[in-house]
Amino acid sequence: MDQEKRQSIARAERAASTVLRDHGVHGTPINAVKLAEALGYDVYQATFKDGAISGGVNFQKNGGRIYLNQNDSPTRQRFTLAHEIGHCVLHRDKHENGILERIDMFRDPENHSQEEVEANAFAANLLMPEQLVREMWKRWGSTEILADIFKVSLSAMSYRLYNLHLKGDW
């Protein structure tokens, strides 16, 4: 990974930490719906004509609406919501109306735009804050237990542990 991409990911992670700090959010699991609402975004379950759509955000004057695919698992919806919050915080000024996300955009980190990489990094740090993950890993040492504590998928937690160099593979 090149230096520019690393810096971009670090900025996104710092932005997530700032949002958590500014809204007094501590502990696990992070209540992403409450956080979205505190930022001025209403969260809705939706059915999309294209079943591959996992979510999207519609920007309005003050805040907006975030839509989540009601057919996705709760952990997928949580990550999608955190990802959309990332777009709201990091990229709102670049998108006049909003953003619509396909499920497959989460799958291959090498195959999507810098904005998507940043939104994923934001989401990971929002739902699985580094310090809390490190503390819980030291205490439990189990991917499955941490996934349950943070209410994320096993793959999301595995990937987070890998990126924090706490686990050798994911």
Question: Residue ranges of the domains in the chain?
Answer: 3-125, 128-170
CATH class of 3-125: mainly alpha
| Radius of gyration of the CA atoms of the chain, in A | 15
Place of tokens 């520019």: 4
pLDDT tens digits along 48-83: 888 888 999 988 888 899 999 999 999 999 999 999
SS3 40: coil
Q: Do residues 58 and 22 touch, judged by C-beta distance below 8 A? A: no
pTM: predicted TM-score of the whole model, two decimal places = 0.90
Catalytic member of 13, 84, 101, 118: 84
Q: For 126-134, what is the mean pLDDT?
A: 97
Tens-place pLDDT, residues 138-167 = 999 999 999 999 999 999 999 999 999 998
CA atoms within 13 A on the CB side of 151: 16
* 135 catalytic per annotation: no
